[in-house]
Structure 1
Amino acid sequence: MTSRMSRGEFIALIAMMFATIAFSIDSMLPALPEIGAQLSPTDLNKAQLILTSFVLGMGIGTFFTGPISDALGRKPVIYAGASLYIVASVIAWASSSLEVLLAARVLQGLGAAGPRIVAMAIIRDLYSGREMARIVSIAMMIFTLVPAIAPMLGAGVIALFGWRSIFVSFILFATIILIWMTVRLPESLAAENRRPFRLPLIIAAVKEMFLHPTVRLSIFVQTLCLGTLFTMLTMVQPIYDVIHDRADSFPFWFGFVALISGSASLLNAAIVIRVGMRRIVTWALGSQAVITLAVILLNSSALTPEGSFALFVFWQTTVFFLAGVTLGNLNAIAMEPMGHIAGMAASVIGAVSTVLAAAIAAPVGLLFDGSIAPLAIAILTMCVFGFVLMLHMGRIEDRLLA
């Protein structure tokens, strides 16, 4: 590995693979009003499904990419996924109805699952334990730059060439990843360590994962953490537009929030080896539950428009910060006992948590009624449940150590 690619370059490439997801979601946010007005003028809220349809496809594709990469190797799966992503982007660019666009977004998600999940399996091939969590945190820190600039890039592309040209930028992004990986990244899974793609082996692996209490709990908690993130992403643009009348400045505020919350991954990388993954996740969920409850109470008081907007920006920052200090740790907690089936484990973890999180975010997003109440109640509920589950995980670990 080191003879072909330095550790820094490896982290940068992995971060770019992770960023395929963020770029595919966040750059679409400024386009939602225009797409809704053009393709769904009678129900503008349906434009939000452009986000959750992508997430749904990604979750479904996630289940297959891991075990296929265990059988064929990591790089062929990334090639196939990126190619499907490019084809789907062409279909989305040419779509004439919301239904065709949503179908293309599902296909895009299926393709994006390749780089996303296989990148995690590649890390597990080369690292383990808290060092793996550190690598993931650093990659996530770089990855956060994409959400910071994606809405601004999307707004700029829309202003110059229209919303359809965003899908051309997706094609260019995927092509860069393919070329970079082809030239610089060796195959990380040796042929003798590959597992045949057989249904009995897949069933056995899934059963092994869900019978392991720590893995099972980490998957459920990751679902809730992703649910808070996806729900916020689904509703954030309408909140800026409808409630605060700041649609024009939304990309800049979103980028500002993403940059600040990106420090979460840096903080996690600095403290995870000393504090531990489980404690960080538990503290983060408990803190977010308290903050969200305070937001609900303060928002019901007589705040000025400026005060209400400042409160929402602060809350949005903490929700993004929560993702930065939980998702990498939860992945590492779940993957640690599953090194012998890393690809399958990455797939099951990603598929279950992503599909269930999308199932939470989609209906909550459609409940938008001109207030933050549906969003705040949903996030508070998910954080409380996640906090309780993490406390239960701690009790299980204490019993095992006793």
Structure 2
Amino acid sequence: MTNGAPDRPARTVPGFTEFVAMVASLMAMTALAIDAMLPALPAIGEALDVAADNDRQLVIGALLIGFGLAQIVHGPLSDRFGRRPLLVGGLGLYAASSVVAAFAQSFELLLAARFCQGIAVAATRVLAISIVRDLYVGRKMAQVMSFAMMVFMAVPVLAPLFGEIILAFASWRWIFWMFAAIGIGVGLWIGWRLPETLSPEDRLPLTPARIGRGWRHTVTERKSLGYMLASAMLSGALFGFINSIQQVMYDTFDRPDMLVPAFAMIAGTMSAASLLNSRIVLRLGTRLVSHSALLAFIGFAAAGAVMAYTGNKSLWVFLILLSANMGAFGLCGANFGAMAMEEMGAIAGTASSVQGAVGVLVGAVIGGSIGQMYDGTTLPLSLGFLVCGSLALVSVLATERGRLFNEDELANEPARV
């Protein structure tokens, strides 16, 4: 790891474990801002006079829209000015918007603050991936991202529990105070310990022509486009789950007490899948692992759709199939991201921003549609998973010219540390 700011004294470089923890923390900011809110949605709706139950999903949707749109901006800025300034600034905005949300007296102001939170966490997502891509490529990048995802997946296990604990003793507004404190803490940690990873000679001019070339290359290079779209489809399934799960637990199964355990079960499966991926991806390759997992995702989704269509209302069968689906998702995510970035090293910030924006915005639209189709059953969610998985497979097949499980082209390229 290099320090890209010669006008500053050299900083202590984090070790591998601390570096992975930093990346995981940055990636976890989004999940924390979403998942900790789920138990609070009924209380927010009651406090701010939200009439329709499905409208409460806008607390999630507003953040996702800001998250998706802002990534387009953060990437080119980071390619010009470096990763650290935008990263620290994004964490500051995360804390500030959390404070505004804590004081909000109207649903509209709360949604505006959530939109700003989305802008803030977009910086953490784009820059986390850009920093990893500054240092690693190919299977090694997939391994680093898998370790980060393993730690990151602990957040969906704990975040709803944090929300439940806060609601047991205080108002939902204190969840936002928790967000503010975490944003400040992570910002101080990053500001003190993480050096600049983008060397001065690698910085790119901030001109419309250069940005346009970067966007065009990102959306026309075969692997970047194909795996970006595949990731977007799977993100649609994930966001559909996030939008629907509170109502599914509360209304479909009449088990509000199971929301936190269900999240723990599902996120635990995803975390285990990420750990497994970190152990096997260097040996088996990103394509063999992720393509096999995608086929499994489609199979589990089909089973869930059949279960819902035939009227099977077993909570445990639903949770087992959903956990299996999300475990397969965990084996796809880091690998799809690494393959999408294989040819993007020279424009890592811009490419990460475009890929992230497309993934989040397309995923948010799909996930929002799945959530709005909630009809008191699990059928819309199950069919959404099946359609998203099938479209992801179409994208992968088009990218790989009809052949699955091909060996990685950059499998043996060394880490750039």
Same fold, judged at TM 0.5 (above): yes
Q: Is the 8 A contact 2:87 2:123 kept in 1?
A: yes
3-state DSSP class of the match of 2:343? helix
3-state DSSP class of the match of 2:401? helix
Q: Is the 8 A contact 1:72 1:194 kept in 2?
A: yes
Residue 187 of structure 1 is matched in structure 2 by 196
Q: Flag the 1:295–1:200 CA change in 2: closer, same or farther, 3 A.
A: same
Instruction: Give the CA deviation at 1:39.
Output: 2.2
Q: 1:388 aligns with which of 391, 394, 401?
A: 394
Q: 1:328 aligns with which of 331, 334, 342?
A: 334
Cα distance per residue 1:101-137 (max 9 Å; x no partner):
1111111000111111101111111111110110000
- Counterpart mapping for 1:131-210 below 5 A: 131-210=140-219
Q: Is the 8 A contact 2:300 2:325 kept in 1?
A: no
For the residues of structure 2 that align with 1:374 and 1:115, how far apart are their CA atoms? Answer: 32
Residue 260 of structure 1 is matched in structure 2 by 269
Q: Is the 8 A contact 1:36 1:45 kept in 2?
A: no
3-state DSSP class of the match of 1:370? coil
Instruction: Give the CA deviation at 1:302.
Output: 5.7
Q: 1:378 aligns with which of 362, 375, 384?
A: 384
For the residues of structure 2 that align with 1:241 and 1:354, how far apart are their CA atoms? Answer: 26
How many residues align structurally?
398
For the residues of structure 1 that align with 2:311 and 2:402, how far apart are their CA atoms? Answer: 45
Q: Is the 8 A contact 1:364 1:374 kept in 2?
A: yes
For the residues of structure 2 that align with 1:215 and 1:108, how far apart are their CA atoms? Answer: 27
Q: Which of 165-174 and 319-328 deviates more?
A: 319-328
Q: Is the 8 A contact 1:228 1:319 kept in 2?
A: no
Is residue 348 of structure 2 the alignment partner of residue 342 of structure 1?
A: yes
For the residues of structure 2 that align with 1:335 and 1:272, how far apart are their CA atoms? Answer: 16
Amino acid at match of 1:111: A
Amino acid at match of 1:58: F
For the residues of structure 1 that align with 2:166 and 2:318, how far apart are their CA atoms? Answer: 27
Q: 2:15 aligns with which of 6, 10, 13?
A: 6
Residue 300 of structure 1 is matched in structure 2 by 309
Amino acid at match of 2:39: P
What TM-score do the two structures reach when normalised by structure 1?
Answer: 0.95
Residue 70 of structure 1 is matched in structure 2 by 79
- Counterpart mapping for 1:21-40 below 5 A: 21-40=30-49
* Structure 1 portions without partners, runs of 5+: none
Cα distance per residue 1:250-290 (max 9 Å; x no partner):
11231232123310101111121222222322222221212
Runs of 4+ in 1 over 6 A off after TM superposition: none
Instruction: Give the CA deviation at 1:178.
Output: 0.9
Instruction: Give the CA deviation at 1:202.
Output: 0.6
For the residues of structure 1 that align with 2:301 and 2:239, how far apart are their CA atoms? Answer: 16
Give the root-mean-square deviation of aligned CA atoms: 1.8
Q: 1:127 aligns with which of 129, 136, 146?
A: 136
Q: Flag the 1:168–1:297 CA change in 2: closer, same or farther, 3 A.
A: same
Q: 2:57 aligns with which of 34, 48, 55?
A: 48
Instruction: Give the CA deviation at 1:391.
Output: 2.2
Is residue 315 of structure 2 the alignment partner of residue 309 of structure 1?
A: yes
Q: Flag the 1:203–1:41 CA change in 2: closer, same or farther, 3 A.
A: closer
Cα distance per residue 1:188-244 (max 9 Å; x no partner):
111121112111101001111222111111111010011111110110111000011
Is residue 352 of structure 2 the alignment partner of residue 352 of structure 1?
A: no
Q: 1:247 aligns with which of 246, 252, 256?
A: 256
Cα distance per residue 1:5-44 (max 9 Å; x no partner):
1111110111101100110111011011111222244201
* Structure 2 portions without partners, runs of 5+: 3-11, 410-417
Percent identity (aligned)? 34
3-state DSSP class of the match of 1:336? coil
Q: Flag the 1:71–1:396 CA change in 2: closer, same or farther, 3 A.
A: farther
Q: Is the 8 A contact 1:226 1:323 kept in 2?
A: no
Residue 8 of structure 2 is matched in structure 1 by none
For the residues of structure 1 that align with 2:200 and 2:82, how far apart are their CA atoms? Answer: 8
For the residues of structure 2 that align with 1:5 and 1:124, how far apart are their CA atoms? Answer: 16
For the residues of structure 1 that align with 2:328 and 2:204, how far apart are their CA atoms? Answer: 35
For the residues of structure 1 that align with 2:172 and 2:147, how far apart are their CA atoms? Answer: 32
Greater fraction helix: 1
Q: Is the 8 A contact 2:98 2:180 kept in 1?
A: yes
For the residues of structure 1 that align with 2:226 and 2:270, how far apart are their CA atoms? Answer: 25
For the residues of structure 1 that align with 2:163 and 2:157, how far apart are their CA atoms? Answer: 11
